[in-house]
């Protein structure tokens, strides 16, 4: 009996790391990517200690570059014979106003937050569709359905990611694959590093990971299409 398998982009820190850990705790082998070799090596060392029974396969990729996303997809296809879960988590947050943000801000966030998920999903669907089952999670945001101050191009990219996720849900529905859009509000991650707020004001990364596991751990008859999570005291 083979272990179940999951692919997570941007998995060395924050939400991605918490998601990776909850799947490993539940017996999954993982393929993950991140930009920084040193972070991946540190994660590998931690895995040997924390999850000695689970295989962790790491790949350095800048997901804003299509060629590197496709290389990661090929790595996954060469590593795993089957794929149960894909988590499109990698993203970048560059606050600003549309009228004031530097030229290139939109392109950077669209490439990282939208195109990476599009290309990685397309690369791995040929593994998943023949199985007739599997689950794809897209890490959207509350910025996917509401405008907020200084959201700028980030919000545009996240609106687009939710659109991608909705279309994918409809396409995969008859094929037995589940698609879930996760829309968290503020949770502690690199994006919020150094913010002067009480620790309990923001959600924990593990809260989002638990929610994702809850969405996964259901019968084949049920799918959570969209899930909104917010700090108890609301948006910042």
45-60 pLDDT, tens digit per residue, is 999 999 999 999 999 9
Measured CA to CA in angstroms, residue 88 lies from 19, 100, 146, 188, 221 at distances of: 11, 29, 21, 18, 23
Residue 236 has pLDDT above 90, yes or no: no
Determine which one of 154, 173, 175, 178 is catalytic: 154
Query: Given this model, what pLDDT does residue 186 score?
Result: 87
216 is catalytic: no
What mean pLDDT is predicted for residues 65-91?
98
> Helix %, strand %, coil % for the chain, to 5?
45, 20, 35
Place of tokens 């590197």: 68
Could you report the per-residue pLDDT of 87-145, keeping only the tens digit for each?
Answer: 999 999 999 999 999 999 999 999 999 999 999 999 999 999 999 999 999 999 999 99
Q: Give start and end residues of each alpha helix (H) in 54-129.
A: 66-79, 105-110, 116-128
Taking only the tens place, the pLDDT of each residue in 154-208 is: 999 999 999 999 999 999 999 999 999 999 998 987 766 777 888 888 999 999 9
CA dist 176 and 125 (Å) reads 12
Q: Give residue limits of the domains in the chain.
A: 4-229
Of the candidates 23, 33, 16, 17, the one whose C-alpha atom is nearest the C-alpha of residue 71 is: 33
Look at residue 1 and tell me whether its pLDDT is greater than 70.
Answer: no
Q: What is the pLDDT of residue 188?
A: 83
Could you read off the pLDDT of 5-19 as tens digits, one per residue? 999 999 999 999 999
* Given 4, 115, 158, 199, the catalytic residue: 158
The superfamily CATH assigns to domain 4-229 is NAD(P)-binding Rossmann-like Domain (3.40.50.720)
What separation in angstroms does the CA of 12 have from each of 26, 114, 191? 18, 19, 14
The whole-number pLDDT of residue 127 equals 97
Instruction: Mark whether 118 is an active-site residue.
Output: no
pTM of the complete model beyond 0.85:
yes
């Amino acid at each position: 009996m083979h272990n179940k398998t999951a692919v997570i982009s941007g998995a060395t820190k924050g939400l991605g790391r918490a998601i990776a850990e909850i799947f490993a705790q539940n017996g999954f082998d993982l393929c993950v990517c991140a930009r920084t070799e040193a972070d991946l090596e540190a994660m590998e060392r931690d895995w040997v200690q924390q999850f000695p029974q689970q295989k962790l396969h790491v790949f350095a990729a800048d997901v804003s570059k299509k060629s590197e996303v496709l290389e990661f997809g090929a790595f996954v296809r060469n590593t795993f014979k089957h794929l149960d879960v894909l988590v499109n988590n990698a993203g970048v947050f560059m606050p600003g106003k549309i009228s004031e943000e530097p030229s290139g801000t939109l392109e950077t966030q669209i490439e990282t937050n939208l195109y990476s998920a599009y290309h990685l999903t397309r690369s791995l669907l040929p593994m998943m569709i023949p199985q007739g089952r599997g689950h794809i999670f897209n890490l959207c945001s509350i910025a996917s359905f509401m405008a907020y101050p200084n959201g700028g191009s980030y919000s545009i990219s996240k609106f687009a990611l939710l659109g991608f996720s909705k279309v994918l849900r409809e396409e995969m529905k008859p094929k037995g694959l589940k698609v879930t859009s996760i829309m968290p509000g503020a949770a502690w991650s690199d994006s919020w590093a150094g913010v002067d707020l009480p620790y309990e004001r923001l959600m924990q990364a593990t809260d989002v990971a638990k929610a994702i596991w809850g969405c996964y751990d259901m019968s084949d008859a049920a799918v959570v299409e969209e899930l909104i999570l917010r700090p108890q005291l609301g948006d910042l």
